[in-house]
A and B are shown apart, each in its own frame.
Chain A
Amino acid sequence: EADIYQTPRYLVIGTGKKITLECSQTMGHDKMYWYQQDPGMELHLIHYSYGVNSTEKGDLSSESTVSRIRTEHFPLTLESARPSHTSQYLCASSGGLAGAYEQYFGPGTRLTVT
C-alpha cells in the first residue's frame, strides 16, 4: 500500500542534542515537503524538494537542514536542538500532476526540547 511514513512519532530530547526526523514515501512522488505546525494549528512550510539533489528553503526561516539523496527519503536534521524548536513537524509528498498538486501527509512528529 502506497503511503508516507514519519519516525519517530514523538521525541523528547535535551537542549543541544542533534536530531534527525525521518520521512519516507512509497508513492514514487518527486516533490516532498516539511511543515512546522504551531500550537495555534497554522502550517508553515520550512523546506521542500522537487527531486533528488534538489532542496529549497520555505516561507518560514528554520535552523533545520534537509537532504534528498533518494526519491523516497527526505530527512530533516537539527544540529543543536533548542526549546524554541518544540513543535509538530509534518512531512508531505506530491506527484505534481498538472492541474492537481494535492499533497499527501505523514502522521507527524511531535518534538519536545527540554
Chain B
Amino acid sequence: GNSVTQMEGPVTLSEEAFLTINCTYTATGYPSLFWYVQYPGEGLQLLLKATKADDKGSNKGFEATYRKETTSFHLEKGSVQVSDSAVYFCALSDYGGSQGNLIFGKGTKLSVKP
C-alpha cells in the first residue's frame, strides 16, 4: 500500500542554518506530493506541492523536488528563521491507491534557536 516515511525529529538548528527534512514514499500510481506545516496551536497549512516527476514546489523560501527515480520529496531551506519553528508533514495523494485521500508521514518537529 501507499506510505510516506520522513525523518524523525526533533530537529534543532541555529538561525540561518541550512535545513533538510528527508521524505521518501511508496505509491502504486502517480501520486501528487505535498509538504504541510503546523505551527503551535494551529491546524495544518499547505506549504508546497508537486504533481508530477521533476516538478519543484516552492514557497516562503522552502523548496522540494519530486524525484521519481529515488521516490523522494525532500524539503529544503537555505536559511531558517526562528519563525520557521513548527512541525512539518510530508504527504502523498494517489487516486489509484488511496482514493485521493492524503497519506501523511509522522511529522518532523523543527526548533530554530536565535
Contacts and interface: CB of A to CB of B under 8 A. Distances in A.
Interface of A: 6, 31, 33, 40-43, 45, 48, 90, 92, 94, 96, 99-108
A43 B93 CA distance: 15
Interface stretch (B20-28, B42-50, B73-81): B42-50
Nearest to B43: A105
A103 B32 contact: no
A43 B104 CA distance: 7
Contact of A101 (B36, B45, B95): B95
Contacts, number: 53
Q: Which 8 A-B pairs have the closest CB atoms?
A: A101-B93, A105-B43, A41-B107, A105-B44, A107-B43, A42-B106, A43-B104, A101-B100
B87 A102 contact: no
B102 A41 contact: no
B32 A100 contact: yes
Interface of B: 32, 34, 36, 38, 42-46, 49, 51-52, 87, 89, 93, 95, 100-102, 104, 106-107, 109
B42 to A, nearest CB: 6
B51 A99 contact: yes
Given A41-B109, A48-B101, 4 more contacts: A31-B100, A41-B87, A99-B51, A102-B93
Contacts of B46: 102-104
B26 to A, nearest CB: 16
B87 A105 contact: no
B101 A45 contact: yes
A96 B89 contact: no
A108 B42 contact: yes
Given A99-B32, A108-B42, A33 B49 contact: no
A105 B44 CA distance: 6
Contacts of A94: 100
Contact of A102 (B49, B95, B106): B49
25 contacts: A33-B101, A41-B87, A41-B106, A42-B104, A42-B107, A43-B104, A43-B107, A90-B43, A90-B44, A92-B44, A94-B100, A99-B32, A99-B51, A99-B52, A100-B32, A100-B49, A101-B95, A101-B100, A101-B102, A102-B34, A104-B46, A105-B36, A105-B44, A108-B42, A108-B43
